[in-house]
Amino acid sequence: MSDLKSEMEKLAQWGKDNPLPRQPDHYRDAERRYMSDPVYHAMVNAMRNYMHEMTLTPSEMRSAVMLACIQFESQRVAPSVTALSRVPAEYLERDNG
């Protein structure tokens, strides 16, 4: 019995000496958002299910998501100076009061 207690104490001490790495803030933020934002929650679940169905690795999913983001950003239309010149001046003026 004392051998088991001794081993448990050694294991507990090893755990104190070798703590798990702290999670990055962005990961904790994502977990908080997952728990509080139903749309984000559904998106994460859909991606996880898709990974499972398509037998994708996390690396494959990450690169596919990054490509989708790049494609999305490249297709967005940025407002041009010409378009802004047609906006009435009163909408462009700022209230600095």
Q: Convert the pLDDT of each residue in 15-67 to its tens digit.
A: 788 776 666 676 788 889 999 999 999 999 999 999 999 999 999 999 999 99
Q: Which amino acid is at 4?
A: L
SS3 97: coil
Which two three-digit tokens encode residue 42?
Answer: 């559904």
Which two three-digit tokens encode residue 65?
Answer: 């998501």
pLDDT value of position 76? 77
| Local confidence band at 92 (pLDDT 50, 70, 90 cut-offs) | low
Name the nearest CA neighbour of 58 among 72, 44, 71. Answer: 44
* 82 or 68, greater pLDDT: 68
SS3 13: helix
